[in-house]
Amino acid sequence: MEEPTITIQEPINQKKKLNIIAIADNSEYGKAAVCHGAMLAAVFNGSLTIVSKFGFSFEDRHPKTHSEIWLQYVQEVVDHNIETIVLPHYYFPETLYLYAEETNTIMFVIGVDKSKTEGFFNLRRALRFIKGSRLPVMTVGRRLPDKDIYQHVILPLDIDRQAKEKALWAGYFSRFYHATIHILTNQYSDAGLKRQVGDNIAFVEKLYKNLEVQYVLERAHTRQDIDRYSIEYAPTVGASLTVIMMTKFSTLGDLLTGKHEKHIIGNPQSLPVLCINQRDDLYVLCT
């Protein structure tokens, strides 16, 4: 097994290689974020940048850790060489977003501890970080990735018009990694809703055929929110990732029960969730 190359350096102005940023801490959630980040770097033939000093204020600072521990984590899941960078300085969200823009970063990875007992990113902090990012943010639990992770990806589709962004990002796992994308939809009885979801399905199928993305169409029998149901459905097809759009505007229902992503991010199954913001300047990977 070749050992990953690890360097410690200052932020640089430009990197041609695609980059993944994993925000780590000393918990099992931080370790999982690093390991998933390493796998993603391998999937996208890119580099991994590890941020171990991060917070929303200086009071959030983590204890110092040695870079060798991150190298050990990377070796646990990646069986070939990837460039691994450990940033030595403290980062706030705004400075990290800027660093990502300058280094061809395509995705952040964070470990979310919904129980608030171990990891730095509880649900509130995770949502705050995600909402500020124009890049997708993958949330993971404490479970480490398997060697064959991301070979099956869930794309939940409903009547939401923001299907294109989700479809593109799910499709990248097929185009880079030959993953199978499972388009998961609900079966509506209302004619209007049935037409709307049918239009989304038709759009995604046309897109995937043009891009030669491997996919299957799965129809669910549930009254649940389809994004939330995708967490339960994933094990039935061996999926290890679901892709969701974040809520842009709160409704009365959101105020009463919480936004739907609060029930998905940091899920008990530790299923990774790729979270995409609804924003005009959303980053889209050019391939």
- Chunked into runs of 10 residues, the chain (287 residues) has average pLDDT values of 42 66 91 93 93 82 64 72 86 95 95 87 93 95 90 92 86 95 90 88 94 94 88 95 84 57 90 90 71
> What's the rounded Cα separation, in Å, for the pair 260 and 253?
10
Strands 242-245 and 83-87, bridge-based pairing: unpaired
Q: What is the pLDDT of residue 8?
A: 39
Q: What is the pLDDT of residue 201?
A: 93
- Cα–Cα distances (Å) from 142 to 13, 23, 36, 138, in that order, read 33, 13, 10, 13
Please, which residues have CB within 8 angstroms of residue 91's CB and are 6 or more apart in sequence? 51, 53, 54, 99
| DSSP reduced 3-state for 170 | helix
- Cα–Cα distances (Å) from 169 to 30, 202, 248, 266, 279, in that order, read 24, 17, 18, 20, 15
